[in-house]
Amino acid sequence: GNSVTQMEGPVTLSEEAFLTINCTYTATGYPSLFWYVQYPGEGLQLLLKATKADDKGSNKGFEATYRKETTSFHLEKGSVQVSDSAVYFCALSAGGQGFSFIFGKGTRLLVKP
Amino acid sequence: DVKVTQSSRYLVKRTGEKVFLECVQDMDHENMFWYRQDPGLGLRLIYFSYDVKMKEKGDIPEGYSVSREKKERFSLILESASTNQTSMYLCASSSTDSYNEQFFGPGTRLTVL
């Protein structure tokens, strides 16, 4: 079946450090891949997405590239800010009617000044 | 701006009470979802609906039911609340195109005493 595995947190970084959060997936066919972010006390917001191999999603300085050969979609940011502290979820959609949407367990990021 | 709204941000109920959580979306989406989010467990799908009056069980439907009488509204019902249903409840919606991106509401934090 389809699955998403992402690195466990928490990840603690100093401001302006480089961020990588690893995400790998297992899926049949050609899934779409997503990163969502959840700030404290809020629901999930879409951060970026990629719908086919070699696509790069980007938003707010975050990037992730859809790597079919390694079945990965790692999230990166060159210089994190305190305001990036949140929980990040990797997810895939294997198409169909939407109920094949699979989330990873989330990675908490804490950025210290 | 697209929107998914949930009826309450915080709710406190007593064991045995019947609890209704309401979710409304204004995007004319076909699919709607209810998740619960618990520390260390990520998001778990309770129920979803891909059309009015249609519903499908997710991963953890026990103790819950749902209702979808109108396209924009999806209700989660706890027939007899129990303390192990204390959790954050998230509603989401998606269309059958747009690569099935899900849009989330702000969440309802339910405490059952």
Cβ neighbors of A84 (< 8 A, separation 6 or more) are A19, A77, A109, A111
In this complex, do B99 and A93 lie within 8 Å of one another by their Cβ atoms? yes
**Weakest-pLDDT range from A25-34, A50-59, B5-14:** A25-34
pLDDT value for B72: 96
On average, the pLDDT of chain A sits at: 92
Place of tokens 């998230």: B90
CA distances from B88 to A61, A73, B21, B110, B111 (A): 29, 27, 11, 6, 9
Query: From the centroid of its chain, how far is CA A4?
Result: 10
Supply the pLDDT for residue B98.
55
Q: Give mean pLDDT, residues A31-50.
A: 93
Percentage with pLDDT > 70 across chain A: 95
Which residue in chain B has the smallest CA separation from A50?
Answer: B99
Q: Work out the pLDDT band at A95, boundaries 50, 70, 90.
A: low
CB contacts, 8 Å: B56 with chain A? 99
Q: With beta carbons less than 8 A apart as the criterion, state whether B76 and B47 touch.
A: yes
Range with lowest mean pLDDT among A33-42, A65-74, A90-99, B48-57: A90-99
DSSP SS3 for A22? coil
Please list every residue in chain B whose beta carbon sits closer than 8 Å to the beta carbon of residue A101: 33, 94, 100, 102
Residues A69-94: what's their mean pLDDT? 95
Residue of B nearest to A42 (CA): B106
Give the pLDDT band (50/70/90) at residue B1. Answer: low
With H, G, I as helix, E, B as strand and everything else as coil, classify residue A57: strand
Query: For the segment B32-91, what is each residue's pLDDT rounded down to a tens digit?
Result: 999 999 988 889 999 999 899 899 999 899 999 999 999 999 999 999 999 999 999 999
CA distance to A24, A61, B34, B75, B77, per residue, from B104 (Å): 23, 22, 10, 14, 19
Q: Which residues of A touch B3 (CB under 8 A)?
A: none
Look at residue A29 in the predicted model and tell me its pLDDT: 78
Between these two residues, B50 and B100, which has the higher pLDDT value?
A: B50
pLDDT over 60 at A96, yes or no: no
A101: confidence class by pLDDT, cuts 50, 70, 90: confident
Largest CA distance in chain B: 41
- A44 near B CB under 8 A: yes
E strand residue ranges, A7-54 = 11-14, 19-21, 23-26, 32-38, 44-50
Q: How far off is chain B from A29, nearest CA to CA, in Å?
A: 14
Touching A: B residues 47-76, CB under 8 Å: 48, 50, 56, 58
